[in-house]
């Protein structure tokens, strides 16, 4: 850009740094540097008054619009990777084989024992009894030790057995166990060590020889699944041999299959032993001997596995040098510890409880999740053995032995949790002397309280990126204690609140049976916590619904829902749980109906909490979905009437939930009756009346699905209506009244609603536009004719029309409102069918034109499905040989499914004596054509293809005629709503702003930027008023692909939004110093409409761009400066007619005005009313009647007052806070021509300018103008600055003239682009001032956008 005269212009407004996150973030130092570089012109020239330097508004208190979760995140369910916490195969060890090879009194020859040596077996000294008695005692004690862990198993002892006895024992137990697990315990202390060939030793019958027993044979006898415990020297040899023999069994099995099965006998091949299902526990590795310490039992490994507390205490006392504790504890005192293992209030019971918690914690923090599930949650006996195996590893390691397991476990003998165990044991044993000698009461350990405190500390800084809390298994154990249960549930709830990953962790550790059992508790103080925990669980895994119903635990949540003492938030969690119980689960629905859930939910509808009301409606919708009995109960309770009151709720989610519930209510009717038909039709009619123009896409999507259910309920009726519509469309296109199916040249696709509007208008304006008779008048051809110059009616862009055009006689037929009422169709459609069917199809056609693409696609699929079914039905009727032409009388005879003898939806003549209905099947292949008047001729390349290959544009599957939906349009509203419960819910006390967060600093950066812009704007205004500055510095010129029509500056930056017919471009200074197009995107409006208005909202932070088009639709865009995407869109004024279809009537399109404090969007145009839209609730606030035949040309609002200008020169003021009938407070009628610009300025002033070049200043308290300024030239385009006393006009002299509002004098004129070879400005059709700064943008018809800024002289 060339250097300008005078001082250099102020730098362009700073932009927040572009990042991929929601806000651009900078370090604090960078922020300070950026702020310091924002040198203002006012700081260089003069001081600004103190009152001007203060911002006139608190930015932090301004509300943000369209910033709810439904606008910020996609409406879809949470994507979770479910962990396999629920075991697919729950096993049980049902048989236990105890094989003891002691040969008491005879030591094996290959082991030399020390003297003294460990002698105790199962805590009995075998040498103190005779050999046989000792052997029997050892066997009995071992069985009792195992029975403590699995009392219901079948135990068989084999004492000093032979090979045959072991075989009979193993095969017998496997036979009785079937597919359950069998345990084989081998004590080989009286026989030699296992051999390298994989053999263990037993005896002959006379006990004179050791007989080898191959592990290969033992595998064959035991089968799988099995668990083996080897307590002998060199036990690791057996584990290695077991793996080799298992692989050999598998190889032999494969070879046997290849050979053709078993060689002898007719039995089937047994499955090979699976190594994965066989668990092994060995006392030592393959080159180690068992410990021989005389203070320890000889079967130390077995003692650790079966009597862990006794061994652990004994080893603890021995490790501490026999009583160097204070007070001292002797080994013999350990036998006198009071209490029972099952009583957690006693010392012995609490030590056992602590030991279980610690070993579970060690395993959960060490093992992979699948291994932990298999070993510690699948089988109670296996879980106990592996918990005790961790202790065995610790004790055996201290005696130079390394226990071996299969599957192999990582080393845990040095885990930090063992120190917590030692501390707990130390504290408990310190009380033992006083308990035994002085009979004092045992004081419970503080172990669990300390672990809960540690868990709470983790929660204060916990997140998904950190390692999981190691205390989580302990928290679950604490749930068993009534003393700590409340605190444990509270901490568990806080942990689950961290996210789905936390729920998965808790489920994997085994939370489910604990919290399921707690639902039997009657303690009211636990209700909020338990309901919250279950809401978190069901938000992640809905399969738990079956467990709740099976145990009748769902009644707990029914009780909570009826408890008046519960807060609405707690009741919301409860109703979510109940909705999860009944969703898609017939048994759950039956139980809920029996529990009067419908009445309970209806009684709670008066609650004010929106989330609670939303889930009450969702719960009802899921309860009666495809459940006839629940529907009948709902009808008796007047549930539809109660739900219809929610359709007017201020929360879109509540309205969407109500529409969802009413839709499933309609869909749940399996047998159609007259009463059911009337009720459902009334519901659908009221839904269309109240919801069709709803501003939320959530609600409109649910409306499309509900209309689909309506279509499913009356398929024959809607197919007949669709056939009549197709006939009219085809007749309009071909100029005849022949049927769609009788024309060999007609297209098979359904005419869209947009094409229908265009065809209707072109049919009525054919003599004016001059369309050839061969053309159909579709939008596609309309565009093509425009390119060829056939369509000569010009499109009048905004602020470019000097005079008024005539009013067309058929102006109304091209609006969305006419489409909703089917007014754009002739009597061949509207006079034959009941209004209900017309309203449903008309509503779907309006939704097909929805500004939101997803809503439009869904509606189009429903309409195309009806059309495809209609064509397929006609083809089937013809192919079946019974096809008859559907005459007028036959059309009248088609009736609703529930009343075949009476035509309930047609108007006109009475039906004939017999009833002719459309065929019931629509899924058979297309049959051959039959000649006749209504024959359908297909191209040869389509004749052989299935119906879905060519029937229309949609590939949606057919809908069953009985009202059920095989496939069709669906939404994610239910799953997206449930996503709320998988997010953070416990946010009490977290409303305080983090003053050191990046988000806070980014917001402060924006607020500081806004303040500086306001101060700079005040300085520029003052300079212009004093004459020391002018608006004549050319900031840049940008060439765009199409002629621009609408301009809008972002209030606090220099970014300029430029709109063409159907696209939006953003002009800014990034990344270079001169303005250029940074982003551009299509607005997505229909092909016959164009953008006529742009507004910025939320501009004090990261703003949104609101685009209004002349068909009455509004679209809101986010990320327009980086990657634009649609936030929402809705039809603000459905009665608006696009300018291209308005005929001779002049329309200025849709005009918008925005109020950030009130979150109000005002829209008006060539309509009867000005509509005020509440953007926070996304509903229409009210309609203000304009009482004028002219269109609205400009809107502006400030502090409760709305100003509107009209094409006939009138200006009207409205107080939108008053009732609509009395809202108009003033009317100005001094302008004689169309008003081009209207602004409300401070002090109650209004400034307006018309096409005559006359600008007037008004006081809202006076009828006449205060000042009249004339440019003496007709103005083609004109704009007035919002705060400065300046206006700009493009007049017939082909120049931009800047005028002062004080005296009307010309401040300066702009004719040429700056530069050595500057060209003249092209014809300007739009001027736009910056809302704050002295900047002006001009859009010319030669596709150039020029920007001019303030320059100080």
The residue assigned the tokens 């800047």 is 1298
Give which of 566, 562, 546 is closest to 554, Cα–Cα: 546
> What's the rounded mean pLDDT across residues 1034-1063?
92
Instruction: Say how far apart CA 1093 and CA 1077 lie, in whole Å.
Output: 19
The whole-angstrom distance between residue 123's C-alpha and the CA centroid of its chain comes to 61
Q: What is the pLDDT of residues 273-318, one digit of tens each?
A: 576 679 999 999 999 999 998 889 999 999 999 999 999 999 998 8
pLDDT at 922 over 50: no
Q: Which two tokens stand for residue 478?
A: 């604490």
Which pTM does this prediction carry? Answer: 0.81
The whole-angstrom distance between residue 419's C-alpha and the CA centroid of its chain comes to 45
Instruction: Say how far apart CA 1018 and CA 938 lie, in whole Å.
Output: 72
Distances (CA, A) of 336 to 247, 439, 639: 50, 12, 68
The half-sphere exposure of 387 on its side-chain side, counting CA atoms within 13 A, is 25
Instruction: Say how far apart CA 635 and CA 1232 lie, in whole Å.
Output: 61
Q: What is the pLDDT of residues 858-890, one digit of tens each?
A: 999 999 999 999 998 888 887 754 433 333 333
Instruction: Say how far apart CA 867 and CA 855 lie, in whole Å.
Output: 19
- Give 296-352 as a DSSP string: S-TTHHHHHHH-HHHHHHHHHHHHTTTT-SSS---GGGGGG--S-TT-TTSHHHHHH
8 A C-beta contact, residue 317 and residue 331: yes
Kind and range of the H or E run holding 185: strand 181-187
Q: Which pairs count as long-range contacts for 985-994, CB under 8 Å and 24+ apart, including other chains?
A: 985/497, 985/532, 986/493, 986/494, 986/497
Which residues are CB-contacts of 596 (< 8 A; sequence separation ≥ 6)? none
Q: Which two tokens stand for residue 944?
A: 């052989």
**Angle at the Cα of 1069 from the Cα atoms of 1064 and 1070, rounded to 5 degrees:** 85
pLDDT at 105 over 60: yes
Which residues are CB-contacts of 532 (< 8 A; sequence separation ≥ 6)? 493, 496, 570, 573, 985
Instruction: Say how far apart CA 227 and CA 278 lie, in whole Å.
Output: 6
**HEC readout, 678-721:** HHHHHHHHHHHHHHCCCCCHHHHHHHHHHHHHHHHHCHHHHHHH
Q: Which two tokens stand for residue 467?
A: 């390692």
Higher pLDDT, residue 177 or 819: 177
Q: What is the pLDDT of residues 1306-1322, one digit of tens each?
A: 888 888 766 544 566 77
- Give 554-583 as a DSSP string: HHHHHHHHH-TTS-HHHHHHHHHHHHHHHT
**pLDDT at 573 (0 to 100):** 95
Q: Which two tokens stand for residue 34?
A: 């950026």
**pLDDT at 933 (0 to 100):** 34
pLDDT at 529 over 50: yes
Classified as helix, coil or strand, 520 is coil
Instruction: Say how far apart CA 315 and CA 348 lie, in whole Å.
Output: 16
8 A C-beta contact, residue 449 and residue 491: no
Q: Which two tokens stand for residue 345?
A: 């209030």
8 A C-beta contact, residue 554 and residue 548: yes
- What are the backbone angles phi and psi of residue 307, rounded to the nearest 5°? -130, 65
pLDDT at 1216 over 50: yes
* pLDDT confidence band for 516 (50 / 70 / 90): very high
Kind and range of the H or E run holding 1037: strand 1029-1039
Instruction: Say how far apart CA 340 and CA 352 lie, in whole Å.
Output: 9
- What are the backbone angles phi and psi of residue 278, rounded to the nearest 5°? -105, 125
> What's the rounded mean pLDDT across residues 906-930?
34
Q: What is the largest CA-CA distance in the chain?
A: 135
Q: What is the pLDDT of residues 345-391, one digit of tens each?
A: 899 999 999 999 999 999 999 999 888 988 998 889 999 999 999 99
Considering the chain, what is the average pLDDT of its residues? 81
The residue assigned the tokens 């119903």 is 549
Give which of 410, 432, 428 is closest to 420, Cα–Cα: 428
* pLDDT confidence band for 83 (50 / 70 / 90): low
Strands 1286-1291 and 1275-1280, sheet pairing = antiparallel
> What's the rounded mean pLDDT across residues 102-109?
88
Q: What is the pLDDT of residues 741-778, one digit of tens each?
A: 444 334 446 666 666 555 544 443 332 223 333 333 33
Q: Which pairs count as long-range contacts for 1263-1271, CB under 8 Å and 24+ apart, including other chains?
A: 1263/1226, 1263/1228, 1264/1230, 1265/1228, 1265/1230, 1267/1301, 1267/1304, 1268/1230, 1269/1299, 1269/1301, 1269/1304, 1270/1304, 1271/1297, 1271/1299
> What's the rounded mean pLDDT across residues 11-30?
36
8 A C-beta contact, residue 102 and residue 299: no
* pLDDT confidence band for 419 (50 / 70 / 90): very high
The whole-angstrom distance between residue 189's C-alpha and the CA centroid of its chain comes to 63
pLDDT at 25 over 50: no
Which residues are CB-contacts of 1219 (< 8 A; sequence separation ≥ 6)? none
Q: Over the range 923-943, which residues count as b (16 or more CB within 10 Å of their CB) and which as e?
A: eeebeeebeeebebeeeeeee
Strands 93-100 and 154-159, sheet pairing = parallel
Strand order in the sheet with 1113-1118: 1091-1097, 1104-1109, 1113-1118, 1125-1131
Q: Which two tokens stand for residue 231?
A: 């307590």
**pLDDT at 561 (0 to 100):** 94
Strand ranges for 189-258 from DSSP E: 199-203, 210-214, 226-231
Q: What is the pLDDT of residues 827-839, one digit of tens each?
A: 777 778 888 999 9
Highest mean pLDDT among 460-474, 791-805, 1175-1189: 1175-1189
pLDDT at 264 over 70: no
**pLDDT at 987 (0 to 100):** 67
* pLDDT confidence band for 81 (50 / 70 / 90): low
**Angle at the Cα of 1188 from the Cα atoms of 1260 and 766, rounded to 5 degrees:** 145
């Amino acid at each position: 850009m060339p250097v300008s005269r005078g001082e250099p212009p102020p730098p362009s407004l700073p932009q927040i740094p572009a990042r991929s996150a929601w806000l651009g973030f900078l370090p604090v130092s960078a922020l300070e540097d950026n702020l310091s570089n924002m040198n203002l012109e006012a700081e260089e020239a003069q001081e600004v008054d103190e009152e001007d330097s203060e911002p006139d508004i608190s930015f932090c208190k301004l509300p943000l619009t369209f910033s709810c979760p439904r606008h910020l995140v996609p409406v879809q369910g949470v994507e979770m990777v479910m962990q396999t916490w629920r075991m697919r195969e729950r096993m049980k060890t049902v048989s236990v084989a105890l094989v003891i090879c002691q040969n008491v009194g005879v030591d094996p020859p290959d082991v030399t024992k020390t003297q003294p040596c460990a002698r105790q077996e199962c805590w009995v000294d075998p040498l103190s009894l005779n050999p046989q008695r000792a052997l029997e005692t050892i066997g009995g004690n071992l069985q009792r030790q195992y029975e403590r862990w699995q009392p219901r198993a079948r135990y068989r002892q084999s004492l000093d057995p032979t090979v045959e006895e072991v075989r009979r024992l193993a095969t017998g137990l496997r036979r009785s166990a079937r597919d359950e697990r069998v345990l084989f315990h081998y004590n080989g202390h009286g026989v030699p060590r296992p051999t390298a060939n994989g053999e263990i030793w037993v005896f002959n019958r006379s006990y004179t020889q050791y007989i080898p027993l191959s592990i290969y044979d033992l595998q064959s006898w035991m089968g799988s699944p099995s668990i083996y415990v080897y307590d002998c020297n060199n036990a690791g040899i057996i584990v290695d041999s077991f793996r080799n023999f298992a692989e050999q069994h598998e190889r032999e099995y494969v070879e046997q299959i290849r050979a053709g099965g078993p060689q002898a006998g007719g039995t089937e091949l047994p499955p090979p032993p699976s190594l994965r299902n066989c668990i092994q526990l060995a006392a030592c590795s393959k080159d180690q001997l068992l410990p021989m310490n005389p203070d320890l039992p000889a079967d130390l490994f077995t003692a650790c596995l079966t009597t862990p507390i006794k061994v652990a205490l004994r080893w603890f006392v021995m490790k501490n040098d026999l009583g160097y504790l204070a007070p001292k504890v002797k080994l013999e005192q350990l036998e006198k510890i009071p209490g029972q293992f099952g009583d957690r209030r006693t010392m012995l019971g609490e030590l056992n409880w602590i030991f279980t918690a610690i070993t579970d914690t060690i395993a959960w923090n060490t093992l992979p999740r699948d291994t932990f599930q298999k070993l510690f949650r699948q089988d109670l006996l296996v879980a106990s053995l592996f918990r005790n195996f961790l202790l065995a590893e610790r004790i055996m390691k201290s005696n130079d032995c390394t226990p071996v397991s299969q599957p192999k476990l990582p080393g845990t003998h040095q885990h930090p949790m063992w120190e917590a165990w030692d501390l707990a044991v130390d504290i408990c044993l310190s009380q033992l002397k006083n308990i035994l000698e002085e009979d004092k009461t045992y004081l419970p350990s503080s172990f669990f309280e300390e672990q809960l405190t540690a868990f709470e500390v983790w929660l204060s800084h916990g997140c998904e990126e950190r390692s999981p809390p190691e205390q989580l298994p302990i928290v679950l154990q604490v749930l068993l204690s009534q003393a700590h249960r409340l605190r444990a549930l509270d901490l568990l709830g806080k942990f689950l609140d961290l996210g789905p990953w936390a729920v998965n962790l808790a489920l994997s550790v085994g939370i489910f049976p604990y919290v399921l059992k707690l639902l039997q508790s009657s303690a009211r103080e636990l209700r909020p916590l338990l309901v919250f925990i279950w809401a978190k669980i069901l938000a992640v895994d809905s399969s738990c619904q079956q467990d709740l119903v099976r145990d009748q635990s769902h009644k707990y949540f029914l009780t909570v829902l009826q408890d008046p003492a519960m807060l609405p938030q707690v009741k919301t969690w409860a109703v979510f749980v109940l909705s999860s119980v009944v969703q898609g689960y017939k048994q759950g629905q039956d139980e809920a109906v029996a529990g009067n859930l419908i009445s309970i939910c209806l009684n709670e509808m008066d609650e004010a909490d929106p989330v609670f009301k939303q889930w009450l409606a969702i719960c009802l919708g899921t309860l009666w979905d495809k459940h006839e009995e629940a529907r009948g109960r709902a009808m008796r309770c007047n549930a539809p009437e109660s739900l219809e009151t929610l359709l007017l709720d201020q929360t879109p989610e509540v309205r969407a939930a109500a529409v969802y519930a009413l839709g499933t209510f309609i869909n749940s009717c399996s047998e159609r009756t007259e009463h059911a038909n009337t009720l459902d039709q009334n519901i659908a009619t009221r839904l269309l009346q109240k919801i069709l123009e709803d501003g939320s896409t959530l609600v409109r999507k649910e409306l499309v699905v509900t209309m689909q259910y309506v279509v499913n309920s009356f398929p024959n009726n809607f197919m007949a209506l669709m056939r009549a519509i197709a006939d009219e469309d085809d007749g309009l296109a071909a100029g005849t009244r022949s049927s769609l199916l009788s024309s060999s040249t007609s297209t098979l696709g359904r005419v869209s609603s947009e094409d229908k509007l265009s065809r209707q208008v072109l049919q009525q304006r054919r003599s004016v536009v001059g369309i050839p008779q061969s053309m159909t008048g579709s939008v596609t051809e309309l565009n093509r004719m425009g390119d060829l110059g056939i369509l000569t009616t010009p499109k009048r862009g905004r602020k470019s029309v000097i005079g008024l055009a005539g009013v067309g006689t058929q102006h109304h037929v091209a609006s969305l409102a006419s489409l909703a009422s089917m007014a754009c169709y002739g009597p061949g459609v509207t006079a034959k069918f009941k209004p209900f069917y017309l309203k449903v199809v008309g509503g779907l056609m309006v939704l097909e034109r929805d500004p939101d693409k997803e809503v439009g696609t869904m509606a189009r699929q429903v309409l195309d499905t009806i059309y495809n079914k209609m064509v397929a039905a006609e083809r089937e009727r013809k192919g079946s040989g019974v096809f008859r032409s559907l005459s007028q009388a036959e059309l009248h005879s088609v009736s609703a499914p529930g009343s075949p003898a009476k035509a309930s939806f047609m108007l006109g003549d009475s039906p004939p004596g017999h009833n002719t209905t459309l065929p019931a099947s629509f899924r058979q292949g297309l049959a051959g054509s039959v000649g006749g008047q209504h024959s359908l001729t297909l191209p040869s390349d389509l004749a052989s293809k299935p119906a879905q290959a060519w029937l229309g544009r949609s590939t949606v599957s057919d809908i069953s005629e009985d009202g059920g939906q095989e496939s069709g349009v669906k939404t994610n509203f239910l799953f997206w709503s449930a996503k709320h419960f998988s997010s953070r819910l416990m946010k009490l006390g977290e409303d305080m702003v983090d003053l050191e967060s990046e988000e806070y600093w980014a917001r402060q950066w924006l607020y500081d930027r806004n303040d500086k812009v306001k101060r700079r704007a005040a300085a520029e205004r003052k300079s212009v008023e004093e004459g020391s500055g002018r608006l004549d510095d050319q900031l840049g010129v940008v060439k765009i692909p199409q002629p621009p029509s609408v301009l809008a500056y972002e209030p606090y930056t220099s970014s300029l939004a430029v709109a063409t017919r159907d696209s939006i471009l953003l002009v800014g200074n990034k990344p270079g110093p001169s303005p250029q197009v940074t982003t551009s995107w299509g607005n997505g409006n229909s092909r016959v409409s164009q953008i006529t208005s742009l507004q910025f909202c939320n501009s004090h932070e990261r703003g949104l761009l609101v685009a209004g088009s002349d068909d009455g639709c509004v679209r809101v865009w986010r990320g327009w400066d980086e990657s634009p995407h649609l936030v929402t869109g809705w039809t603000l004024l459905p009665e608006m007619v696009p300018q291209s279809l308005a005929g001779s009537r002049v329309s200025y399109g849709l005009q918008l005005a925005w109020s950030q404090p009130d979150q109000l969007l005002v829209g008006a145009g060539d309509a009867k009313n000005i509509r005020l839209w509440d953007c926070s609730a996304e509903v229409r606030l009210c309609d203000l009647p304009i009482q004028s035949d002219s269109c609205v040309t400009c809107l502006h609002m400030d502090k409760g007052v709305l100003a509107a200008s009209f094409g006939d020169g009138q200006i009207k003021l409205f107080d939108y806070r008053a009732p609509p009938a009395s809202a108009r407070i003033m009317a100005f009628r001094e302008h004689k021509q169309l008003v081009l610009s209207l602004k409300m300025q401070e002090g109650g002033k209004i400034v307006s300018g018309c096409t005559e070049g006359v600008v007037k200043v008004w006081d809202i308290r006076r009828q006449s103008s205060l000042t009249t300024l004339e440019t003496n030239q007709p103005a083609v385009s004109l704009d007035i600055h919002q705060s400065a006393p300046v206006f700009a006009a493009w007049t017939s002299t082909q120049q931009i003239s800047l005028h002062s509002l004080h005296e009307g004098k010309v401040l300066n004129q702009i004719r040429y682009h700056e530069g050595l070879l500057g060209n003249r400005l092209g014809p300007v059709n739009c001027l736009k001032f910056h809302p704050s700064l002295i900047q002006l943008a001009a859009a010319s018809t030669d596709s150039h956008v020029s920007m001019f800024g303030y320059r100080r002289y």
